[in-house]
């Protein structure tokens, strides 16, 4: 099995579970559409409408946000900022909103969630066809000198990088934001029952048409079939996971995953395999899933317990599940 498959199979298995979780409700089944955006497989399933043009609209939105927010796409807002050599750049109000959120989680975590890790994460090449290899230590330390969320100056819709070599990467939070936008669109179209799945980031619109809750599986890390470590039954909720098993490669018998410690530039090693966040808004779930992963079990759990309407389950490398106090079990 090549490395590309290595990475995407877990996502696809998870996606299948999400799609079929409500399948028995409506005789004709949901209408659904799958696409490839944000470097991952996405799918939208609508349970209470047969209007395919709504799905067209969702895919158009995915394409629009991919073009706007991807650091890799030439001409995107983020690409423009990263290539402006420190000059001010006017961005779309969506980009400004999302940057504001990213800066919020950067401050909340004391910089352990950092949207300026772009220069370091591109060295690791986790989004490439064949991720890796481990970058030279000297390249990591030189890229690290340009990491620091304080380098982003955001004033209205104008973004200026105080260090012209700083590189923004919103990969840890963009999918959550986009899922929220797609949900608003679906609701405006009158949809009351749908599942938005952006590469395993799941956002539920309402409940099943018979008003029962959807059931979503949380993938068992590194399981080679569609094995779930637990399930969540819910309506109108965001369920977002971050984990070592989502994007990684192996070199000399060691696994290297994509969630990086901004103080070292290397993958976080704290005995966590994954974190799943339940929240109302998916932008918060996505921001928090990465933040809690970097913070680790104790600090991450403390943060979750301090936040209203937010729950989490942490999976440690002994396959134990650690639930927050209000997690619906
Ligand atoms: P997620 O799957 O939401 O946890 O996001 C992981 C992605 O966020 C990685 O692929 C990187 O692009 C980026 N990233 C990695 N480490 C961090 C970090 N400490 N803070 C912010 N973004 C990060
Ligand atoms: Mg995230």
Instruction: Say whether pLDDT at 219 is over 70.
Output: yes
Q: Which one of the ligands is nearest to 40 CA?
A: 1
Count of structural domains within the chain: 1
Residue ranges of E strands in 49-200: 89-90, 152-155, 158-161, 193-198
In a domain, 93, yes or no: yes
Tell which one of 258, 282, 295, 314 to mutate to probe ligand 1, the residue whose CB is within 8 A of the most ligand atoms: 258
Whether residue 6 is contained in a domain is answered as yes
Question: Residue 133 CB: number of other CB atoms within 10 A?
Answer: 12
Residues 6+ apart with CB under 8 A from 43: 15, 18, 19, 32, 33, 34, 35, 195, 197
How far, in Å, is the centroid of ligand 2 from the Cα of 199? Answer: 11
Query: What does the block give as tokens for 6?
Result: 């290595």
Closest among 10, 190, 205, 168 to 91, alpha carbons compared: 168
Neighbours of 200 (CB within 10 A): 25
Atom 8 in ligand 1: which residue has the minimum CA distance? 172
User: Average per-residue pLDDT in the chain?
Assistant: 92
Q: Is 200 helix (H, G, I), strand (E, B) or coil?
A: coil
Distance of CA 12 to the CA centre of its chain: 15
In tens, the pLDDT along 182-208 reads 999 999 999 999 999 999 899 999 999
Q: How far is the CA of 242 from the centre of ligand 2 (A)?
A: 6
Whether residue 253 is contained in a domain is answered as no
Q: Which residues pair with 316 in a beta bridge?
A: 272
For the stretch 76-104, what's the b/e string if a residue is b when 16 or more beta carbons lie within 10 angstroms of its beta carbon?
Answer: bbbbbbbeeeeeebebeebbbebbebbbe
pLDDT tens, residue by residue, 70-82: 999 999 999 999 9
pLDDT at 261: 98
Q: Helices 52-69 and 93-108 sit at what angle, rounded to 10 degrees?
A: 70
Q: Whose CA is nearest to atom 23 of ligand 1?
A: 172
- Which residues approach ligand 1 with their CB closer than 6 A? 113-115, 117, 121, 126, 169, 171-172, 242, 246-247, 258-260, 262, 286, 289-290, 294
209 within some domain = yes
Residues with CB under 5 A from ligand 2 (ion): 172, 242, 286, 289-290
Closest protein CA for atom 3 of ligand 1: 172
Q: What is the pLDDT of residue 127?
A: 87
Closest ligand, as measured to the CA of 117: 1
User: Considering the domain boundaries, does residue 113 fall inside one?
Assistant: yes
Express each pLDDT in 271-311 by its tens digit. 999 999 999 999 999 999 999 999 999 999 999 999 999 99
Residue 46 lies in domain: 1-231
Convert the pLDDT of each residue in 87-137 to its tens digit: 999 999 999 999 999 999 999 999 999 999 999 999 999 988 899 999 999
Position 327 in a domain: no
CATH number for position 57: 3.10.520.10
Does residue 329 belong to any structural domain of this protein? no
* Residue 135 forms part of a structural domain: yes
Give the side-chain half-sphere CA count within 13 A for 314.
26
Q: What is the per-residue pLDDT for 128? A: 84
CA of 46 relative to ligand 2 center, distance in Å: 24
Q: What pLDDT is recorded for position 21? A: 35
- CA 212 to ligand 1 center in whole angstroms: 34
Centre of ligand 2 from the C-alpha of residue 40, in Å: 14
- Rounded Cα distance between 221 and 319, Å, is 8
Q: Are 200 and 246 in contact (CB under 8 A)?
A: yes
pLDDT score, position 226: 79
Q: Does residue 12 carry a pLDDT above 60?
A: no
């Amino acid at each position: 099995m090549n490395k590309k498959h290595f990475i995407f199979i877990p996502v696809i298995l998870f996606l299948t579970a999400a799609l079929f979780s409500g399948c028995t409700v409506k005789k004709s089944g949901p209408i659904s559409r799958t696409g490839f955006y944000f470097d991952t497989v996405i799918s939208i399933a609508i349970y209470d409408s047969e209007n395919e043009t709504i799905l067209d609209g969702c895919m158009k939105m995915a394409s629009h946000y991919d073009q706007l927010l991807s650091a890799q796409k030439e001409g995107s807002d983020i690409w423009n900022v990263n290539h402006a050599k420190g000059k001010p750049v006017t961005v779309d109000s969506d980009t400004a909103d999302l940057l504001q959120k990213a800066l919020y989680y950067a401050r909340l975590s004391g910089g352990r969630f950092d949207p300026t890790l772009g220069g370091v994460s591109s060295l690791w090449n986790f989004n490439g066809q064949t991720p890796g290899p481990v970058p030279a230590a000297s390249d990591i330390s030189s890229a690290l000198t340009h990491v620091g969320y304080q380098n982003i100056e955001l004033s209205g819709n104008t973004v200026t990088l105080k260090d012209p070599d700083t590189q923004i990467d919103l990969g840890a939070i963009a999918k959550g934001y986009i899922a929220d936008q797609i949900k608003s669109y679906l609701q405006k179209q009158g949809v009351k029952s749908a599942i938005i799945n952006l590469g395993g980031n799941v956002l539920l619109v309402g409940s099943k048409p018979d008003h029962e809750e959807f059931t979503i599986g949380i993938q068992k890390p590194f399981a080679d079939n569609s094995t779930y470590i637990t399930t969540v039954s819910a309506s109108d909720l965001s369920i977002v996971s971050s984990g070592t098993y989502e994007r990684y490669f192996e070199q000399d018998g060691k696994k290297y995953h994509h969630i990086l410690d901004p103080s070292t530039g290397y993958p976080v090693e704290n005995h966590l395999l994954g974190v799943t966040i339940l929240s109302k808004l998916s932008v918060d779930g996505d921001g928090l899933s990465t933040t809690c992963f970097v913070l680790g079990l104790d600090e991450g759990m403390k943060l979750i317990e301090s936040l209203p309407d937010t729950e989490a389950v942490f999976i440690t490398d002994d396959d134990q599940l650690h639930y927050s106090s209000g997690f619906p079990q």
